[in-house]
Structure 1
């Protein structure tokens, strides 16, 4: 066997050490693909999204401090998730009694997750003492307004109000606070129904450039935009370009490139690698040294 053929054979044997590493963290839940920055496996994905998604009987769940939501879709191109709260009011059903989750994200997750700008929250049955109405009616502090063409004036026309025995005319608030107050998420930073003293809420979002005729055709749910820092994104691209899968250190939350049987703090082509146990020597380094030794040994027979 020639030295060249031997080297090629040895490299073929070493390929499995790295091949498939880019799929170490990719997984599925039902028909939804779970990929960076999200993950179901410990150590995979971005640290800001850890312990966020759970797959239960092929149903993907999203969990934050305000509760659990079913994930209907992850749009990696638009960088958004679409969530469903079972106690969310729609046009056909108005849910009161404070059963809805609302939307409150942990402070440390706030840089990464927020409802999209075209998402309207309509708070229902809030008390006169609600922080929303402080200074009302003499002050000018009511934040209620339309968001992306959606608001309470149209929502009052939904049949769900009639099922509660409330017709559109009966919803006029006159000198009292409105029974429905539409707001953008940015104006209050969290939809905490208990703190806001509200009985329920609805949430809808637009799907541009789609135009709909009224609230019966709105898309109900919570559209959440996610964000990853530019430096982390560039690290991940470099990692994936060398066959790795983007992850993080579960103890220190630093970036890691997962290369199959070992991890790297940069990418899968660097000389110094970080193994799962924390040592710097890896199978690739050892195999490289082995190739050098064998090459020198074979060359000695040719001299």
Structure 2
């Protein structure tokens, strides 16, 4: 009688174990399903305008965009209006200039021409001193109906000649703006007016304690020949710095992919936001290939939070990596930033 091959299965110790292979497939599926929402380009999530105002570096209205120095300062409201957030409130942004770095905001609580001599209570405008924003010296502050007992209201040239040591503390009643209020020169007939530049928010607050109200006027450059190169307009000019670094310039270099400068919203470390994914250097190499790894060979981090990764998925990934490390004696994969290359910029 002929002999037939045995139909018994191959002993388990003679075939490669299936479990690690299946586990790798499971881990891969979990990783792809949980991280795929984060791999989408962060640069495509960075809005470049709000209410017709351009949003460029160093600003961003979406978290992870721009410089972390200005994180949470600009807000694009549901009505598509750009607002500046400060300790004293949220203010509508009228314009942003990046060539002469400044923001112009409006304060609805300040006096305006329609108020006339009906002075209403207001609040002082303030900025967080820890930010890279500061009140511009191109602002003039006009105060109305100040107490003569509490505030030095005098024509500045005459007063400064008489009392040079108190010149900075006087409110100039001979101010040009008091006699030529923009758009409504005769709006406050019969009321006192003086111009004073506060040295700090505290001095502005003290002035408001003893004056009926105030308004802010800034001098807008119109590009004409002096002395007609500036025009007075209502608003508050806020100056800002643009942090320029070699890393950001390299990221934005069109020859290297033309990325967008941003940061990791968890660590606030620098990221170059690209079309395909986000890296820590620049988007494309000399051959036009997309950079997928940061310098040093570690996987580039992705802007955004880890909220898109489920807790169950994270636990599964952790357990799988632990098992693979035990079965296969290999060095662990280094994820994230492991050097100083991503320090704050």
Give TM-score scaled by structure 1 length. 0.63
Are 1:88 and 2:110 counterparts?
yes
Deviations 1:199-242 (A, max 9, x none): 321111222345799xxx731111222112343xx432221223
Deviations 1:88-140 (A, max 9, x none): 224553463322x432101211xx2123222212233444676x659x99872
Q: 3-state DSSP class of the match of 1:251?
A: coil
Q: CA deviation at 1:45?
A: 1.3
2:259 and 2:40 map into 1 onto residues whose CA distance is 9
CA RMSD of aligned residues (A): 3.9
- The corresponding residue for 1:152 is 178
Question: More deviation in 117-126 or 32-41?
Answer: 117-126
1:263 and 1:191 map into 2 onto residues whose CA distance is 44
Asked whether the equivalents of residues 36 and 45 of structure 1 are also in contact (C-alpha less than 8 Å), the reply is yes
Are 1:247 and 2:303 counterparts?
no
Are 1:279 and 2:335 counterparts?
yes
Asked whether the equivalents of residues 29 and 59 of structure 1 are also in contact (C-alpha less than 8 Å), the reply is yes
Q: 1:44 to 1:128 in 2, by over 3 A?
A: farther
1:72 and 1:28 map into 2 onto residues whose CA distance is 13
Structure 2 residue aligned with 1:43, among 56, 60, 64?
64
Question: More deviation in 23-32 or 66-75?
Answer: 23-32
- The corresponding residue for 2:134 is 114
Q: 1:19 to 1:42 in 2, by over 3 A?
A: closer
The runs of 5 or more residues in structure 1 that have no matched partner are: 1-17, 172-178, 282-303
Q: 1:143 to 1:50 in 2, by over 3 A?
A: farther
Deviations 1:135-190 (A, max 9, x none): x99872524359xx85435449832213xxx2xxxx5xxxxxxx433233xx5133
Q: 3-state DSSP class of the match of 1:48?
A: helix
1:265 and 1:123 map into 2 onto residues whose CA distance is 50
Which structure has the greater CA radius of gyration? Answer: 2
**Aligned counterparts, 1:123-142, within 5 A:** 123-127=143-147, 140=166, 142=169
- The corresponding residue for 1:75 is 97
Q: 1:254 to 1:124 in 2, by over 3 A?
A: farther
- The corresponding residue for 1:238 is 250
Deviant stretches of 4+, over 6 Å: 18-21, 136-139
The runs of 5 or more residues in structure 2 that have no matched partner are: 1-38, 154-158, 284-290, 307-333, 338-345
Matched residue count: 238
Are 1:267 and 2:282 counterparts?
yes
Give TM-score scaled by structure 2 length. 0.56
2:72 and 2:176 map into 1 onto residues whose CA distance is 33
Q: 3-state DSSP class of the match of 2:196?
A: strand
